[in-house]
Amino acid sequence: MSENNEIEVMQSVYDKNDEVAKQINEALTAKGIFAINVMGAPGAGKTSTLIKIIERLDGTTPYVIEGDIEADIDTKTLLALGVKTIQINTNGACHLDSPLIGEAVESLNIKDGILFIENIGNLVCPAEFQIGEHVKMLISTVTEGSDKPYKYPLAFEKANIIIINKCDLLPYVDFDEEYFMKGVRALNKTAPVFKISSKTGEGVQDVVSWIKQNLK
Amino acid sequence: MHEYPITKRIIEISEEFAKKNNADDIKQINLVVGDYSGYVASSIELYFDLIAEDSICKNAVLNIERVEPKLKCSDCGKLFKRKPFSFACPYCQGEGRPTEIGQEFYIKSIEV
Ligand SMILES: [Zn+2]
């Protein structure tokens, strides 16, 4: 009995976010900023890895947007090191989206350098949203186990660079690197994978070299 | 958690299309949601009734078509649903690669 008249829509519901992300990306590029979306689980060592990278940037200016659900501990640490940082609290939301980044970028007066955007500690939602970045950096750890690519495929698929952190703990944990890499390569043929320790700084220089090669 | 704003956006887009077609009542919204889209179909449904209340979508039925993610085998080319902890093709044991199937999130049509 229903006489519905069907109207074709075929429109992505992501459109607003992606449109804003594209604008942010263009604005950042015009300012000479290379933006890195840093993703990883809570406790993966995102902030400590950033600090080790920033210490080695050598002449390139770093900026940081710290996404957090509610705390600002990481921002205080970075500010104490003299890094221009701003805090975004999502008040419960599980990822950063592009309107949030747009506001933050405006308030951070930035030019010529690298913008690290530390996403919320979560391996699910951050992978799904463009936020105006040039590359996505995924930080996984040997303590999380080698099954992460199998459990969070999208994050590994979308990453442009993958870091295995806490490698100083390899003698103490059961991390099956072969199984991990098999999963990574099934999802992502091209992203380089770097083994580092954000505690000792081992391997970080290679990450910095990769970033510098990919600048501009 | 992030379904609330996106549900609002679904209603907004539906209204735009209804207005363009001179309709003032939306009876059905046909939405396609992939399981890897990052959005949970049941949460969207939950918010929908609440947000639609003050809009021309208030009588609308939200019809969600879910899409299961599929991998494509690099060896034999077949599409398949992956087993937990594996990317292996069930037909030839080759290696599956991610596809767009399962990442959809769009409004297919509205019925007015
Ligand atoms: Zn096959």
Superfamily grouping for domain A2-214:
P-loop containing nucleotide triphosphate hydrolases (3.40.50.300)
Does the residue B93 lie in any domain? no
- Token output for A169: 């703990």
pLDDT surpasses 90 at B37: no
- Token output for B104: 């959809």
Closest Cβ opposite residue B111 in set A6, A11, A125: A6
Task: Identify the CATH number of the domain in which residue B9 sits.
Answer: 3.30.2320.50
Contact of B10 with chain A, judged by CB distance below 8 Å, is answered with yes
From ligand 1's centre to the CA of B94, what distance in Å? 5
Determine whether the annotation assigns residue B57 to a binding site: no
CB contacts, 8 Å: B109 with chain A? 6-10
Task: For A80-93, give the DSSP string.
Answer: HTT-EEEEEE-TT-
Q: Determine the pLDDT at residue A216.
A: 62
- Token output for B12: 């907004």
pLDDT digits (tens, 9 = 90+) for B40-91: 888 899 899 889 998 999 999 999 999 999 999 999 999 999 999 999 999 9
pLDDT surpasses 80 at B1: no
- Token output for B75: 């060896």
Residues 6+ apart with CB under 8 A from A28: A34, A35, A105, A115, A132, A134
Residues 6+ apart with CB under 8 A from A169: A142, A143
Does the residue B15 lie in any domain? yes
Q: pTM, whole model, 2 decimals?
A: 0.86
Q: Determine the pLDDT at residue A1.
A: 43
pLDDT digits (tens, 9 = 90+) for A98-110: 888 888 888 888 8
Number of domains in chain B: 1
Q: For residue B84, how many other CB atoms are within 10 A of its CB? A: 7
Residues in chain B: 112
**Contact across the interface for B106 and A128, Cβ inside 8 Å:** no
Distance CA A157, CA A185 (A): 9
How would residue A2 be classed by pLDDT, with cut points 50, 70 and 90? low
Ion ligand 1: residue ranges with CB closer than 5 A: B 73, 75-76, 89, 91-92, 94
Q: Which domain holds residue B26?
A: 2-69+101-111
Does the residue B30 lie in any domain? yes
- Ramachandran angles phi, psi of A19, nearest 5°: -65, -45
Does the residue B75 lie in any domain? no
**Contact across the interface for A187 and B27, Cβ inside 8 Å:** no
Residue spans of beta strands (DSSP E) within A55-209: 62-68, 84-89, 113-118, 135-141, 161-165, 193-195
Instruction: Tell me which residue of A164, A215, A171 sits closest to A193, measured CA to CA.
Output: A164
Q: Determine the pLDDT at residue A128.
A: 81
Domain locations along chain A: 2-214
pLDDT digits (tens, 9 = 90+) for A68-124: 877 788 888 899 889 999 888 877 777 888 888 888 888 888 899 999 999 988 888
pLDDT digits (tens, 9 = 90+) for A128-173: 888 999 999 999 999 999 999 999 999 999 999 999 999 999 999 9
How would residue A54 be classed by pLDDT, with cut points 50, 70 and 90? very high
Does the residue B85 lie in any domain? no
Does the residue B94 lie in any domain? no
pLDDT digits (tens, 9 = 90+) for A22-46: 999 999 999 999 999 999 999 999 9
Chain A's closest residue to B37, CA to CA, is A128
Q: Determine the pLDDT at residue A31.
A: 93
